[in-house]
Structure 1
């Protein structure tokens, strides 16, 4: 009869093998779920592959940062820095303070000039705490035909635009048809930007919830308009199929 000598079990090695097996199983499930999403959202193989590759990414919270808080800003080009017309920290802080405290005359003065996408994004950041200012900025932006066309909007910008629209509809329970038509027009423009479907995968649960609230309000509005037999005021409210992109 064969004699088997069983040595002591290496618990640390066994634990490492177990962790590796769990990680591989989680990776398989995560990528498998991403593939199903990618089939519905991607139009090319490259988009499909990017969605699957990004399945492990998790969005940063708005209060998180990739840089330590005590890290001082560094100049990447010291020699050329003095020749650039970049605003100083004091000027930027002053501009933000001005926009937050006096959104009326100051913002109207700025919006009276020609507005392109770069200027829009700059002003959007300056008015981070000003709902009325951001609404005025969006209204001015959409006087320019297809201002977002061809521009890859960041996840933060998409989330902030949707949050602004959602908050605007919260201000008054009986919003006008014009208000809803404007919201729909902005949403249609945003969802047609490059890599929009990929950016939607990187939203946090809170940001996702805000967009779901906005979608529900638009759907309710559409049903009410249909029941009243009212004709849509512009092309923005003809079809709400674009909501499936969000």
Structure 2
């Protein structure tokens, strides 16, 4: 820090010395963004440990089925209602008795899905890859309306980023959801991207635990997916495809 001395005339011929203080006016640190990212990381870490504790409790209780185990884990973060909480704030539940209206509603929903698919294709060029686990989960639940959108979302994120996002654990039953969207409307052109994503997911530190807790239906989907992959004809671009597939079968216990 530089010290600047100013000499000012005065009646007693005395010298007045002043020094400048460091200023941070030129700094442009976005504290709001830093706080938001820090909170996101704290929330993700808190949810992970809550779910992990629930898994341990469920194992110690020797639950009767995987479905019961999964319900315990998925509900671990829920809290009971307080006295001041209002049930009305939870929304209104209605049941449609008019079947013609119900069919019209379903048709409208299908149309909305088609519009969403078209919008996704248009926005593909401006896709922003999620940078944290909480951001991935948020966008997975809000932006991906159907299985096709979920698969395209995973393809857009890519194996390298998926490996980074799920380095420690594939929590919340996501592995089963991934398998389901991979299998949905599978085509030969999707084989390589699917294999690459399966490889990246298998590097998760607790992958064996995620694999062990797949439901019966999810395990059947896993087998069906590998059958689809096994029927793909090898191409020049995928010379080592069969070797990679054989390795994945061992890892996924298929």
TM-score (structure 2 length as normaliser) = 0.50
Q: Hey, what does 2:12 align to over in structure 1?
A: none
Normalised to the residue count of structure 1, the TM-score between the two structures is 0.51
Contact 1:148-1:189 at 8 Å conserved across structures: no
Query: Equivalent residue of 1:113, what SS?
Result: coil
Q: Where in structure 2 are the equivalents of 1:51-90 lying within 5 Å?
A: 56-57=62-63, 58-60=65-67, 74=81
1:243 counterpart residue number = 249
Superposition RMSD in Å: 4.1
CA shift, 1:136, in A, is 2.1
Distance 1:114 1:63 in 2: 29
User: Residue 54 and residue 238 in structure 1: after superposition, are their counterparts in 2 closer, same or farther (change >3 A)?
Assistant: farther
Q: CA deviation at 1:239?
A: 1.8
**Cα distance change of structure 1 residues 202 and 144 upon mapping to structure 2, 3 Å threshold:** closer
Distance 1:111 1:135 in 2: 17
Structure with bigger RCO (C-alpha 8 Å, 6+ apart): 1
Pairs aligned (count):
162
Shift of residue 212, structure 1, vs aligned partner: 0.9
Is the aligned partner of 1:132 residue 2:143? no
CA deviations over 1:41-73 (Å, ceiling 9, x no partner): xxxxxxxxx9xx679453227995776xxx986
2:234 counterpart of 1:215: no
| Aligned residue number for residue 193 of structure 1 | 204
Note the 1:1-246 alignment, pairs <5 A.
56-57=62-63, 58-60=65-67, 74=81, 102-105=116-119, 108=123, 112-118=127-133, 119-127=135-143, 129-142=145-158, 145=161, 146-154=163-171, 156-169=173-186, 175-176=187-188, 178-221=189-232, 224-225=233-234, 230-233=235-238, 238-240=243-245, 241-246=247-252
| 3-state SS in 2 of match to 1:194 | coil
Q: Which stretch of structure 1 is more off in the superposition, 159-168 or 127-136?
A: 127-136
Contact 1:188 / 1:242 at 8 angstroms: preserved in 2? yes
| 1:77-119 C-alpha deviation (Å, 9 max, x unpaired) | x9xxxxxxxxx989xxxxxx9x967344368379623422432
Q: 1:137 to 1:179 in 2, by over 3 A?
A: same
Q: Gapped runs of 5+ residues in structure 2? A: 1-55, 92-108
Rounded Cα–Cα distance in structure 1 between residues aligned with 2:164 and 2:129: 12
Which ranges in structure 1 are unaligned for 5 or more consecutive residues?
1-49, 79-87, 91-96, 170-174
Deviation, structure 1 residue 232:
4.0
Give the distance between the partners of 1:54 and 1:72, measured in 2 at CA: 22
1:151 positional shift: 3.6
Summarize the Cα distance change of 1:144–1:185 in structure 2 as closer, same or farther, 3 Å threshold: closer
Partner deviation per Cα, 1:171-224 (whole Å, 9 max, x = no partner): xxxx23x41001111111111112111122212111111111111111222xx3
- For the pair shown, which has the larger CA radius of gyration, 1 or 2? 2
